[in-house]
Amino acid sequence: MQGTSDNGRNSSVYYGKLNNYVNGEWVESKSTQIREVVNPATGQVIAHVPLSTDQEIEDAANTANEAFRAWRETPPVVRSRYFFKLGALLEENFEKLSRIIVEEMGKTLNEARGEMRRAIEEVECACGMPILMQGYVHEEVSPGIELKVIMQPLGVFFMVPAFNFPALVPLEYMPYAVAAGNTYITKPSTEVPITQTKIFELIDKVGFPPGVINMLHGSSGVVDKLLENNLVKGVSFVGSTPVGRLIYRKAAQHNKRAQCAAGAKNHFVIMPDADIDKTVSAMLSSFFGCGGQRCLAGAVAVTVGDVYEQLCGKFVESAEKLRLGYGLDNKTQLGPLVSKEHKANVVKFIEQGIKEGAKLILDGRKAEVKGFPNDAFLGPTIFDDVKPDMMIANEEIFGPVACITKVKDLDEALAIIENNRFGHSSLIFTSSGKSAREFEYRTTCGNVGINIGVAATMAFATLGGLKETNFGDLHGRSESVKFFTERKIVVSRWF
């Protein structure tokens, strides 16, 4: 593993104490609870974020509810125009926002740019809300009787995003909710709140009516208070399975809608007829891209038959060559994890794998980056001889850690996937159409990749996720239209 440094870019911008955005205005929180936002590469404090007070949370919910009536009566075509403007502003600020993602989250600049591109695509897709919300009419269901189905917004919704995609994840939900006629509250992660704050500066420039889109900084206290608030109709969540399960349960207790995208443990099945060089290239991106901090990351490489001998050495050799460093250095291929605390959690998994008897054939704990003493860097880590019942084979690690498991055939590989409690993604590399077809039919995951290392969906398609990867009947993106609206059936006859 090679370290890089860029001493000309070591110093971080300080963005100050961040404010809430409520009722179309920037509001300084009165909270005395303040957290530091740290650049994980440099270790420098780059912002301070408040944990909003109970009164501030209640005020935001009241504001959003008051704005709802006028906003729902605004025609969908008019609502969509605001998002055309937002998309244009995001394009104008593309590089600036990408660099902020690097500074607060630790991605490489190219990874941050990729995130921004996908975020803009979500906004663009939501501009089609006049079509996405179309109902339908059945004429003459009986003599002189017409049946009509219309879709209407419900009220106030809020978002609890994960830290790993500070621009993309909130924009996978908010534009659809608001374009559908609801009002909204975003609660950014306290680890990465700057990107959303800057996006809200653009939202302010767009000129949405006051109260339609709001932002509250804070931690679990904001979530609890909004779930308990009678004015709030539902919540969207992206994060870990334990938290997703808790939010889903609490939302149900308070008669609210909830869509909770949770954890993952994605299996990468390599068949004997796979193209080894292309497979290894895809594995590097899948297992180690974004530091392994994404729900679509590869986690377990399941080698079928004798492909292990062809694959393992090349995978380790290629991973060793990845360049670690600050994401603003164009030579960097792998940035730091989001924080020293998160790195410590990942290291605990590595230590557990060693205790369980897995063979550590590449140890990322030894990684150092010259000129960047902050200890959030972790190099690619690879375990061999991983058994399906080991903790590292079953729990989400959320770091650049790959596990290699050997099986004799596709049936055994599919059984491992089926027995895992997560159902986010599974991938197969093969030259056989028969194997690919059998895999996509039998695998128990919501996202399937065939010779694709990261089975990322598009803005116009829904997110996938089965088993303990998802709580709720409706996923994100385009399927959110159903989540954010209520279908009303109208049966009429005129005399």
Closest CA to 280 of 312, 251, 315: 315
Local structure of residue 222 (DSSP, 8 states)? H
Contact 264, 425 (CB under 8 A): yes
Q: Measuring CA to CA, which residue among 245, 265, 279, 270 is closest to residue 399? A: 265
CA angle in degrees (0–180, nearest 5) for 102-107-111: 105
Question: What does DSSP assign to residue 239?
Answer: S
| Count helices and strands in the chain by DSSP H and E runs | 16, 24
d(CA 11, CA 42): 7
**Residues assigned a catalytic role:** 295
Place of tokens 């794998």: 353
The residue among 349, 366, 358 whose CA lies nearest residue 383 is: 358
Residue 21: alpha-carbon gap to chain centroid:
22
Report how far residue 407's alpha carbon sits from residue 479's, in angstroms, rounded to the nearest whole number. Answer: 37
Euclidean distance between CA atoms 319 and 313, whole angstroms: 10
Closest C-alpha to 336, from 95, 143, 102 = 102
Q: For residue 284, give the amino acid letter.
A: L
Q: Which amino acid is at 352?
A: Q
CA 48 vs CA 38, 104, 201, 228, 328: distances in Å = 9, 12, 17, 27, 22
Cβ atoms of 104 and 37 within 8 Å: the answer is yes
Please choose, from the candidates 206, 198, 189, 199, the residue with its C-alpha nearest in 3D space to the C-alpha of residue 16.
198
Three-state secondary structure along 362-405?
ECHHHCCCCCCCCCCCCCCEEEECCCCCCHHHCCCCCCCEEEEE
Tell me whether strands 470-471 and 257-261 are parallel, antiparallel or unpaired. antiparallel
User: Are the C-beta atoms of 72 and 181 separated by less than 8 Å?
Assistant: yes
What are the C-alpha distances in Å from 53 to residues 44, 59, 189, 236, 411?
27, 10, 16, 21, 54
Query: Taking the CA atoms of the chain, what radius of gyration do you get in angstroms?
Result: 23
279 contacts 286 by C-beta, under 8 angstroms: no
